[in-house]
Amino acid sequence: MKVKKVLGILAFMALLTVPSAYAAEENTAANVNESEETLTTTTAEQMSTTQTTTSLETTSEETTDTTTTAVEVGEAIKNGIEEQTGIKAVEASETVNQNVVEIRKALASGQYAITPEALANYTDEQLDEALQLFTRINQDFYGMDLGAYVRLLTALYQDKTIAVSSALAALSFDATGLSLSELKNQVDALENYLQTVYPANSSFISIRQLSHDELLAILNFITPLQEKMLAEEGRFFPGIIAWIARYASEGIPQARNELVKPVTTNATTETTSATNETTTESSVTKKEDNKKEQTGILPKMGDNPMFYVSVIGILVIISVTFIFYRRKKK
């Protein structure tokens, strides 16, 4: 009789446990699903926000790139030449006086890198020859002061890295007085001019010797830039020879139709993708962590250990029924 009571109590408890266990599991599953939906929504919003922000940044960058002025490019050319040669551009009021007597007087002031003895050794003719070349060089590049003039004197008559007579004869070709279209038809003359006035071994301003094709490539590259600068400013600055000198130093550019800085759209797109990937990975991690927090020690979805409890309960019921049946039969 005692056995009968114990088995009856066990069967009753097993029946009560089954629905409550399933209810707990269903509640857990509902909580996890709700958490997943919330996280998915939040992740989607985060991704959308990231993409929108990146899109705005990209648009901003592209706007900046496409509105780059020709003057900015010209200034960059000038700054590069200044750094390369050590010769600074000056305002028009500071340029060299065209009178030899006044030049000699200014040089005697001691403000420039020339001693009175060295200055006395130069004839007025030599000062005038240097002035003719110096005036053209100012047109080819930009305005320079007497310090640069002294450097030219040294290159002409001390270092002798520029042949005076040949350089003066070369002044008959004036690149600054020709359009780029005209220069493209006189590339050989331009090549000779550069080699004579700005030889590669010059101690004043040197330009690497360029081939016919290299010069043509540079002129083709500069053409749209010059057109844009003339439209924006009404002038082309610095001089055409300065642009050629800079690109001869930097390397031959590829022809292009627009004046733009390097666009970073691709890099931004990659950043967007990387950000989205990071957001997605973070979302997955959060989902897993939330599942663990919500489920605790309860089984994961897909597992069903409560099935075994149900089987035990059924076996207990069968056992009790069997015992009753045998006792009745007796």
Highest mean predicted confidence (pLDDT) among 31-35, 152-156, 217-221, 282-286: 152-156
Band of the pLDDT at 189, cuts 50, 70, 90?
A: very high
pLDDT of 270-282, one tens digit each? 444 444 544 445 4
Amino acid residing at 22: Y
Which residues touch 107 (CB under 8 Å, ≥6 apart)?
Answer: 114, 119, 146, 150
Whole-number Å distance between alpha carbons of 53 and 286:
23
Burial class (CB in 10 A: 0-12, 13-18, 19+), 90: middle
What mean pLDDT comes out for the span 208-214?
93
Average pLDDT, the chain: 73
With beta carbons less than 8 A apart as the criterion, state whether 183 and 213 touch.
no
Count of Cβ atoms closer than 10 Å to residue 95 Cβ:
19
Residue 212 clears pLDDT 70, i.e. is over it: yes
Residue 175 is classified by DSSP as G
Asked whether residue 288 carries a pLDDT value surpassing 90, the answer given is no
The predicted pLDDT at position 295 comes to 43
pTM: 0.57
Are 81 and 238 contacting, i.e. CB atoms less than 8 angstroms apart? yes
Higher local confidence (pLDDT), 98 or 200: 200
Alpha carbon of 222 to those of 57, 180, 196, 206, 252: distances in Å?
Answer: 30, 8, 23, 20, 11
Contact 279, 50 (CB under 8 A): yes
**Where do the structural domains in the chain lie, given as residue ranges?**
2-64+266-329, 69-250
Helix (H) or strand (E) holding 35: helix 2-66
CB 276 within 8 A of CB 46: no
